[in-house]
Amino acid sequence: MSANSAFLKEMGITEWTSRDAIPAQTQVMASAEVLTQDADPLATSAPVASEARERTSSGIWWFFGSKPQGDAEVLFQNIIRVLGLTPQEWSWKNPADKFNPELLPQDGAPIVAVAFGGSAAQKLSGERDALPELRETVLAINADGAEDLPLIATFELNQLIARPKDKALFWQDLLLAKSVLQNI
């Protein structure tokens, strides 16, 4: 089993099809199907993973939440690998820490923040809604000097391990974050 196969298996992806092997029209239909169906998430994860695997634009990903440990840490490292992020392109942050505008990249690189869990998203955005209402929306970090930093709320990593069927929704959240980053 190759390293990539092990990563995909850890994320619950059981089928992988190269984009080169799928006609373009089928790719579009499969991607739309993933976003609109309540189908088996393991069966529909392949197109989502194919899109996420593409190289991200030059930008920074900030991940907020409880620092992952054990199986959650393995899952997080696999997510970083699938997104193709280098160590310079991402960092883990504690949502309880006070936001420091000096942490913003000096080169003006775009940033997207991903909050793992409802409480992290609420703390960072100032919103009071529960996670289901915060997901699929581009929020903003609510702090001095951070007015334009987009925030995407998603599931806690331990929840994804406990409920693998949420992984397809999680990938939708990552694709939204990727899209936001590319359009900044």
Q: At what angle do helices 71-83 and 3-10 cross, to 10 degrees?
A: 120
Q: 74 Cβ partners below 8 Å, 6+ apart?
A: 10
Q: 147 Cβ partners below 8 Å, 6+ apart?
A: 140
Burial call 68-107: b when 16+ CB within 10 Å, e when fewer: beeebeebbebbbebbebeeebbeebebeeebeeeeeeee
In this prediction the pTM is 0.70
Other beta carbons less than 10 A from residue 165's beta carbon: 12
Q: Is 177 helix (H, G, I), strand (E, B) or coil?
A: helix
Per-residue pLDDT of the chain (184 residues; tens, 9 = 90+): 555 566 556 656 665 555 555 454 444 334 334 333 333 333 333 334 444 444 444 799 999 998 999 999 999 999 999 999 999 999 999 998 877 778 888 888 999 999 999 999 999 999 999 999 999 999 999 887 776 799 999 999 999 999 999 999 999 999 999 999 999 8
Domains of the chain as residue ranges with CATH: 3-53 (no CATH), 60-182 (3.40.470.10)
How many angstroms separate the Cα of 113 from the Cα of each of 4, 56, 90, 172, 179?
26, 14, 10, 15, 12
* β-strand pairing of 150-154 with 138-140: antiparallel
- Token readout for 104 is 């913003």
Reference 49, options 5, 83, 73; nearest CA is 83
